[in-house]
Structure 1
């Protein structure tokens, strides 16, 4: 993970954040052992708080991996709540199911194998929170897909809004400051276009927070 915060600050944020349970600790250890890019406990704790603040009952994830963010989210849901996990890798989705079962949250989860953008179209009703964490060049597509189904007062969180191994941060910074750098890769352009889109949308108020690899938090105001 390409950390944004200085090491001492990141350690401080982690030490003062919510304590993960045994299953989350195991999931963190798995990420380290396998080199799996997960959001980490700093972002995880923030996601859980956002879900509580939004009084979330339904959550949708565009890209769930092995269920790390979904586990944090699930802790904030009521007993009749629902979180939809989407993943194109069957093994990762099965691992997510195992972890959520271990934590006692399996009854809240819907596991959808396949393309998240196709999955969201099949769901009726509204969602209170959405996480976008799949292919960066499709972030805007995910935003457009979830917007009609997001409640007023709902929140969309986009991961990797600042950094990742595939993001050219110097070029991303230049773009958001109004420049036009050369040789921008597809992932960097995808993040830049997403940020431009959500910031320009009058229905949302957006801030980018330097947690994990950067998260863009968009609150639906109308």
Structure 2
């Protein structure tokens, strides 16, 4: 049911010593300035499968991707409703937002709404008249996502379709500027095919959990979900219509640019 919201030469030892002293001085200066700064925002609890040192992740989040009150409330709502803690992190959300703004996206498709947290990051990147179409099969998740979009005042900018993605995707018109996939892993190869069909040339194909908690690089993991992730990554790497890579943020984000419509 559709719901709309219308690595060097080595320096002499004395130079190195001076460098260390200078660095210590800089760090102290930063610390001194920090004592006058406003308190840091409360950050999401970190999950253990990230590939980047947690200190760097927190640095990025605090400096570049601090949540506003609405996003914090949405995340708190997820916790209160016992949603699985699998939504994108703030730094991932900011990256997705930036990517959409870079290509001036207007029509965006999200496969897997969960509770709407990622959708808010995506929809906020769109200009007036832009629309996020997001698909969610779980009725509870869909309800919470609708509430999140209402809370973020995204009326008229988000269309939430409740149903199985493989049933909904054939009904959508092509021409999306970006497709973001963050859903069940076993059917990922099918989502890849549909994403490429619905994506315009010059559009972005995006997929979360590219490492899938390490399963993507574990040859002994033959579970259906691991195989789905591995197959999606292979497709993204080898499809001649797509220029793609994995950005090692949190659990890995596939980013691909569709450069042509046919092989």
Asked if TM exceeds 0.5, the reply is yes
Whether the 8 Å contact between 2:205 and 2:255 is mirrored in structure 1 is yes
Aligned partner of 1:191 in structure 2 is 229
Aligned partner of 1:178 in structure 2 is none
Aligned partner of 1:206 in structure 2 is 244
SS in 2 for 1:212: coil
2:169 equivalent among 120, 130, 153: 120
Aligned partner of 2:18 in structure 1 is none
CA-to-aligned-CA distance 1:37-68 (integer Å, 9 cap, x gap)? 11110100001011101211111111110111
Matched, 1:12 2:59: yes
2:186 equivalent among 137, 154, 158: 137
Matched, 1:221 2:259: yes
- Choose 125-134 or 42-51, whichever is displaced more: 125-134
Aligned partner of 2:101 in structure 1 is 52
Distance in structure 2 (CA, Å) of the matches to 1:102 and 1:172: 36
Whether the 8 Å contact between 2:210 and 2:253 is mirrored in structure 1 is yes
Give the drift of 1:91. Answer: 1.6
Distance in structure 2 (CA, Å) of the matches to 1:84 and 1:7: 32
CA RMSD of aligned residues (A): 1.6
1:101 equivalent among 150, 174, 182: 150
- For the pair shown, the structure with the greater C-alpha radius of gyration is 2
Whether the 8 Å contact between 1:67 and 1:96 is mirrored in structure 2 is yes
Give the drift of 1:31. Answer: 4.2
User: CA 1:128–1:200 in 2, change beyond 3 Å: closer, same or farther?
Assistant: same
CA-to-aligned-CA distance 1:60-119 (integer Å, 9 cap, x gap)? 111110111110011111121111111111121111111111111121111111111221
User: CA 1:18–1:10 in 2, change beyond 3 Å: closer, same or farther?
Assistant: closer
In structure 2, the gaps of 5 or more residues are 1-46
Count, aligned residues: 211
Distance in structure 2 (CA, Å) of the matches to 1:22 and 1:182: 43
SS in 2 for 1:119: helix
In structure 1, the gaps of 5 or more residues are 175-180
Matched, 1:25 2:72: yes
Distance in structure 2 (CA, Å) of the matches to 1:32 and 1:98: 14
Aligned partner of 1:75 in structure 2 is 124
Whether the 8 Å contact between 2:108 and 2:131 is mirrored in structure 1 is yes
Q: Runs ≥4 in structure 1, deviation > 4 angstroms?
A: none
